[in-house]
Amino acid sequence: MSQDSPVLDAVDGHYEETMDLNPYGEEETLDRTGMSCAHRAESQRPSRSEAEAAVRTLIRWAGDNPEREGLLETPARVARAYEDFFRGYTEDPAAILAKTFEEVEGYDEMVLLKNMRLESYCEHHMVPIIGMAHVAYLPDRRVVGISKLARLVDCFGKRLQTQETMTSQIAETLEKVLKPRGVAVLVDAKHQCMTTRGVHKTECGTITTRVTGEFKENILMRQEFMTLVTSSVIGV
């Protein structure tokens, strides 16, 4: 992806806004998008055997013996699991939305995908973030296949993330690529770093939202989104 890509600009723009809150250096911040540095990451990627050796180190750090029978195949399994957990790095989010359709019947009301299961990974503790994503947009003549919205959620979910960053990335990619009249994203998730360690707040959920365009300007539109997300009209 070129440095002039609108999606890249959107993501970088988000980081500029939040730079004060970001404890990372600029270069590492760019890495966190997983977009601007895909080729660099690939060239620096450790080998499978290096990854498996790292898992053996962590097993020893946890206090167990990686040579005992039950753990012998574990490093290879963990490496394969990581390929699935973090497959989002291998996808280009803009390309997922590249194919759009003209809405010939003139549908210009909200398109909402609600209750999409979200699986992501906390970038601070590398443990799961599990929840739901709800994504809506207001078409401006062009629409996108609804399954593409689910793939977009997975593309950003299957990376090391913060919920705040992920919510913004989903909204801003949709905004920049599809150019709708507005985008609304709500993510409702539990972080295992909160529920299974540290403060052990097992029922604690985190909600993040990002709205653009008419959802931001029109309070009634935003309320309609929130009502549909929280109602049982669909998704039952």
Give the nearest distance from C-beta 193 to Zn ion in angstroms.
3
Residue 125 designated active-site? yes
Give the nearest distance from C-beta 162 to Zn ion in angstroms.
8
Using DSSP, state whether 67 is helix, strand or coil: coil
Tokens of residue 189, six digits: 């998730």
In this complex, which beta carbon is closest to Zn ion, that of residue 12 or of residue 123? 123
CB-based contact 72:55 (threshold 8 Å)? no
Residue 134 designated active-site? no
In this complex, which beta carbon is closest to Zn ion, that of residue 86 or of residue 218? 86
Q: In terms of residues, how long is the chain?
A: 236
Q: Where are the beta strands (DSSP E) in 75-203?
A: 100-102, 111-122, 128-138, 142-144, 160-161, 182-191
Tokens of residue 172, six digits: 């801003």
Residue 42 designated active-site? no
Residue 119 designated active-site? no
| Alpha-carbon torsion, ordered 170, 174, 175, 176, to 10 deg | 110
Enumerate binding residues for Zn ion (CB under 5 A): 122, 124-125, 193
Q: Work out the angle between the directed axes of helices 163-178 and 6-17 (0-180°, nearest 10).
A: 140
In this complex, which beta carbon is closest to Zn ion, that of residue 40 or of residue 124? 124
Give the nearest distance from C-beta 51 to Zn ion in angstroms.
21
Catalytic residue chosen out of the listed positions 161, 175, 191, 214: 191
Residue 204 designated active-site? no
Catalytic residue chosen out of the listed positions 14, 122, 134, 161: 122
Residue nearest to Zn ion (CB): 193
Residue 37 designated active-site? no
In this complex, which beta carbon is closest to Zn ion, that of residue 48 or of residue 124? 124
Tokens of residue 140, six digits: 């401006």
In this complex, which beta carbon is closest to Zn ion, that of residue 122 or of residue 221? 122
**Closest of 49, 61, 55, 58 to residue 78, by C-alpha:** 55
Q: What is the largest CA-CA distance in the chain?
A: 64
Residue 155 designated active-site? no
Distance CA 132, CA 126 (A): 19
Give the nearest distance from C-beta 112 to Zn ion in angstroms.
29
Give the nearest distance from C-beta 191 to Zn ion in angstroms.
6
Catalytic residues: 122-125, 163, 191, 193
